[in-house]
Amino acid sequence: MKEILEILQADGRLTPRQIATMLNRDEAEVAATIKDMEEKKIILGYFTLINWDKVKGERVSAIIEVKLSPQREVGFDAIAERIYRFPEVGSVRLMSGSYDLSVMINGRTLQEVAYFVSNKLATIENVISTCTHFVLKTYKYHGTILDDAEEDRRLVVTP
């Protein structure tokens, strides 16, 4: 199972047949394992990793540190849920340390992000404070280095 996940994480386009060949397994068995992992929500989706810095058009990302006062019985979960339901929110993580939630959001402009933080996020009850960090450049994402530093520099034919 772990091997299949590793292969799919590196390239989600590979077919069960190709994965079965790579792992010397039966195709039907691989297809069934993938389906099972999808049903169990281990595999949640198949994405394309894009370097948005290379795409023309406006796009702003920010990481927001959010301090909360936890709610009785549900702790941070209920507020986290209120936050992650916003479509502009890319990720929400509960953190240890000097703040509680790390919220990543994507917008078209700086103003759009500022509006979301001041009018949507900061106004939620139990949110004590926010600290917004705009992303200036992404170097590595999802385990992939986003510049061209490690291109294939080998000769075309070698002994």
Partner 1 sequence: MTVTTDWRRKLNPVVRDIPPSGIRRFFDLVSEMKGVISLGVGEPDFVTPWHIRESCVYSLEKGYTHYTSNHGLLELREEIVRDMEGNYKVSYNPLNEILITVGVSEALDLAMRALLCPGDEILIPEPSYVSYAPCATLSGARPVYLKTSVENGFQVTPEMVEKAITPATKVLLLCYPNNPTGATIGRGQLLEIMEVVKQHDLIVISDEIYDKLTYTGKHTCIPSLPGMRERTILLNGFSKSYAMTGWRVGYAAGNPDFIEAMKKIHQYTALCAPITGQSAALEALKNGRSQMNNMVEHYNRRRRLALQAFEEMGLPCFEPGGAFYAFPDITGTGLTSEEFAGELLKEAKVAVVPGNAFGEQGEGFVRCAYATSVEELSEAFQRMRRFVRRRLGRGKVLTGSFGKPEPLKEGIFQTL
Chain positions contacting partner 1, by CB under 8 A:
7, 11, 13-15, 17-18, 21-24, 150, 152, 154-159
| Of 117, 112, 66, nearest in space to 93 by CA | 66
Closer of 136 and 155 to partner 1 (Cβ): 155
Residue 104 C-beta: closest distance to partner 1, Å: 26
Residue 71 C-beta: closest distance to partner 1, Å: 43
For residue 31, the one-letter residue type is A
d(CA 93, CA 146): 23
Torsional sign, CA 85, 87, 89, 91: positive
To 10 degrees, what angle do helices 16-23 and 2-10 make?
120
Residue 49 C-beta: closest distance to partner 1, Å: 13
d(CA 121, CA 107): 14
Residue 105 C-beta: closest distance to partner 1, Å: 31
Closer of 115 and 141 to partner 1 (Cβ): 141
Closer of 7 and 104 to partner 1 (Cβ): 7
Closer of 14 and 104 to partner 1 (Cβ): 14
Q: Is 5 exposed, middle or buried (0-12, 13-18, 19+ CB in 10 A)?
A: middle
